[in-house]
């Protein structure tokens, strides 16, 4: 399994490619291209929510081919005002501690305990983040839900697709929602989309208004530059 894939080597999913470059020790940066043109955050949101599978399948494949048994997934932050111009990109950072954990036996009981085979979207306990988490599908080992790397490699493809669609809808809804500071939508409020997983050992994608668990400084301090 290759550690790095250039743009020429990146698999093509109906025009979508996710070439990768090194971003430090144990960290790989991925960009998204559509027929050679950078995909913006807005385009990524629309593509991942659509019924077309190309973008989501390409994203999943990029994660599946990571050399890490577990990783942190961290996207470049976005705002409503910058979504149409900011290129969509993300990093995968080696998360060796996650590779050794076992899944929680009763994670998020109020939200995914009885949600069947789908995906749940809910606020965290402090109501300062939105979480997107898959439900335990019958017949699938619980270990497939421990973290994102395990999920994309072990969960049923339809559920993986459902997770990405739910993430896309949650991001779109969050960016469109009015902020507390103005009545015109949260145009200037940054949104950080990521997975950590060190607090609860069950996959949950986080939508945060601050980079609470980010490890990649260029994204963590993106708006401080």
Which tens digits make up the pLDDT trace of 153-168? 999 999 999 999 999 9
Domains of the chain, residue spans: 16-212
- Asked if 32 and 16 touch (Cβ cutoff 8 Å), the reply is yes
Place of tokens 């973290």: 147
What lies within 8 Å, CB to CB, of 206 at 6+ separation is 124, 129, 130, 131, 192, 193, 194, 195, 196, 212, 213
Task: Tell which residue, 222, 225, 203, has the closest CA to residue 211.
Answer: 222
* Residue 3 clears pLDDT 80, i.e. is over it: no
- Asked if 173 and 165 touch (Cβ cutoff 8 Å), the reply is no
What lies within 8 Å, CB to CB, of 19 at 6+ separation is 5, 6, 7, 9, 10, 30, 31, 33
Structure tokens at 29: 């940066």
What is the pLDDT at residue 113? 67
What is the pLDDT at residue 183? 44
Max Cα separation, the chain? 50
What angle separates helix 54-64 from helix 41-49, to the nearest 10 degrees? 100
- Asked if 192 and 214 touch (Cβ cutoff 8 Å), the reply is yes
Average pLDDT over every residue of 129-157: 96
Angstrom CA distances, 143 to 99, 148, 189, 206, stand at 10, 11, 35, 20
What is the pLDDT at residue 12? 59
- Asked if 124 and 133 touch (Cβ cutoff 8 Å), the reply is no
What is the pLDDT at residue 181? 45
* Residue 186 clears pLDDT 90, i.e. is over it: no
* Residue 2 clears pLDDT 50, i.e. is over it: no
Structure tokens at 5: 């894939």
Per DSSP, which regions of 14-145 are E strands? Answer: 16-17, 20-22, 27-31, 33-34, 37-38, 71-75, 89-94, 119-123, 129-134
- Asked if 11 and 17 touch (Cβ cutoff 8 Å), the reply is yes
**pLDDT band (50, 70, 90) for residue 224:** confident
Q: Which of 20-24, 121-125, 167-171 has the lowest average pLDDT?
A: 121-125
Q: Which of 26-35, 73-82, 117-126 has the lowest average pLDDT?
A: 117-126
Q: Express each pLDDT in 107-132 by its tens digit.
A: 887 787 667 669 999 998 888 899 99
Angstrom CA distances, 149 to 71, 96, 155, stand at 6, 11, 10
> Between these two residues, 95 and 138, which has the higher pLDDT value?
95
Q: Mean pLDDT across the chain, nearest whole number? A: 90
């Amino acid at each position: 399994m290759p550690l790095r894939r250039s743009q020429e080597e990146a698999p093509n999913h109906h025009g979508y490619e996710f070439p990768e470059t090194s971003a430090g020790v144990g960290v790989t940066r991925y960009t998204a291209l559509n027929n050679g043109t950078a995909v913006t955050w807005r385009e990524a949101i629309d593509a991942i929510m659509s019924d077309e599978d190309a973008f989501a399948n390409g994203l999943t494949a990029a994660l599946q081919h990571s050399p890490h048994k577990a990783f942190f997934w961290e996207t470049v932050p976005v705002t409503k005002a910058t979504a149409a111009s900011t290129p969509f990109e993300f990093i995968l950072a080696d998360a060796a501690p996650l590779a050794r954990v076992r899944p929680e036996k009763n994670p998020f009981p109020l939200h995914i305990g009885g949600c069947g085979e789908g995906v749940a979207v809910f606020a965290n306990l402090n109501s300062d983040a939105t979480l997107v988490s898959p439900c335990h599908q019958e017949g699938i080992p619980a270990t497939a839900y421990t973290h994102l790397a395990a999920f994309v490699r072990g969960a049923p493809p339809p559920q993986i697709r459902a997770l990405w669609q739910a993430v896309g809808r949650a991001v779109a809804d969050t960016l469109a929602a009015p902020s507390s500071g103005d009545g015109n939508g949260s145009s200037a409020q940054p949104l950080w989309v990521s997975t950590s997983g060190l607090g609860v050992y069950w996959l949950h994608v986080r939508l945060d208004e601050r980079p609470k668990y980010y490890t990649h400084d260029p994204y963590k301090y993106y708006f401080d530059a």
